[in-house]
Amino acid sequence: MFKKIPVYWWCQIFGWSTYFIVNCFYYYILYTPRNKPNPNFLFILLLDICLGIFITQLNRFIIRRFKLLDFSLPRQIEYLMINTLVFAFLWGAISVTVNSNFHLESEKSQQLSFLNKFTIASLSSFSLLLVWNLLYFTYHYIKKSRTEQLDKIRLESMVKELELKTIKAHINPHFIFNALNSIRALVDENPGRARTAITELSNILRSSMQAEKMETTTLEKELNIVKDYLALEHIRFEDRLQVEYDIDEDTLDQQVPPMMLQTLVENAIKHGISKQVSGGKIYIRSDFKSDYHELVVQNTGHLNGSVANSEGFGVASTYNRLQLLYGSKASFRIRDVAGGLVEARVILPVQTN
């Protein structure tokens, strides 16, 4: 039953109970030993609490009715002060009127004019209402900020998920297009080899379909896709394509974005090897550097403008995926290095099991 009581009413109960206890302590412990007691004190106090609950409820109704919490923070502060002042005057006027008409005042209060009693009651009510309003506005401001922050996080998560799916949707058709071109070149020249290539392509497509369901995969699985892809491309380039691997076995279980390494290798062939009359070499390395996992793809050739400016698909997709998955914990760089080579270097955080 108690769980059904809203937080607001729990705060009201606690607040006014505290108000009752503090006033009783002050009156009976500090005031009455030195002053003549008022026989109507408890009745006046309970009446004041009932009036306070009524006033704060009316204040809350006005806040919600005119949606004062939806305004900017400076406007909220402005309305808080206006509300406090208006309802303090209302509280003071009702309190003085009721106490006067029903003769509930102490002898000292009876000697004061209505204006003086109204001013004292309003000032007392103002301080109490100011605390109430500050707590009410602050609670809802924090609650609203947290809700907006959670909504922002959910939105960013949805955008991230959509961007990753979009990037993946671009990667696979791009890869398939190039792989089919390689197979097409073999159909008339070497049908038997073409059939083998189709089998290799089916293995790659099966792996890529499984990769669609994952944000990351192991380097070992990614290397298997790369080796199948390079086997297809070797049919087209023959001796013009040389491949060298330098893989630290301890890195094989490290997580990497699926199809990322294959995309970099594909990019190396498209912009590097295919541009060289005599072909060239692709060098793939994976090892640990300090606290990071380093992936390197080098190819014969020179960096052209579109790739250098991250306009090429392979470069752009790799950079975007790393940013979405790892943020500042990962980096990607492509550059010319000595020996007439282009190097694509990916730095990833080390995954610990």
pLDDT of residue 82: 93
pLDDT of residue 192: 81
> Helix 219-237 and helix 191-211: axis angle, to 10°?
150
pLDDT of residue 324: 81
Neighbours of 310 (CB within 10 A): 15
Neighbours of 276 (CB within 10 A): 17
Q: What is the dihedral of CA 237, 240, 246, 247, to 10 degrees?
A: 0
What is the rounded CA–CA span in Å between residue 249 and residue 288? 10
Residue 199's identity, in one-letter code, is T
pLDDT of residue 7: 87
Domains of the chain: 2-148 (no CATH), 188-349 (3.30.565.10)
Give mean pLDDT in consecutive 10-residue pieces for the chain, a chain of 353 residues: 78 93 90 81 91 94 90 89 93 89 76 86 92 92 86 68 58 65 76 82 74 79 89 83 94 90 87 86 94 94 63 70 86 90 94 72
pLDDT of residue 193: 79
Query: What percent helix, strand, coil does the chain show, rounded to 5?
Result: 70, 15, 20
Buried b (16+ CB within 10 A) or exposed e, 64-101: eeeebeeeeeeebeebbeebbeebbbbbbeebbeebee
Neighbours of 257 (CB within 10 A): 27
pLDDT of residue 147: 84
pLDDT of residue 310: 46
Residues 271-299 pLDDT 10s: 888 888 888 999 999 999 988 999 999 99
Helix, coil or strand: residue 285 = strand
* Mean pLDDT value across the chain: 84
Longest dimension (CA), the chain: 118
Q: Is the pTM of this model over 0.85?
A: no
Residues 63-74 pLDDT 10s: 999 989 888 888
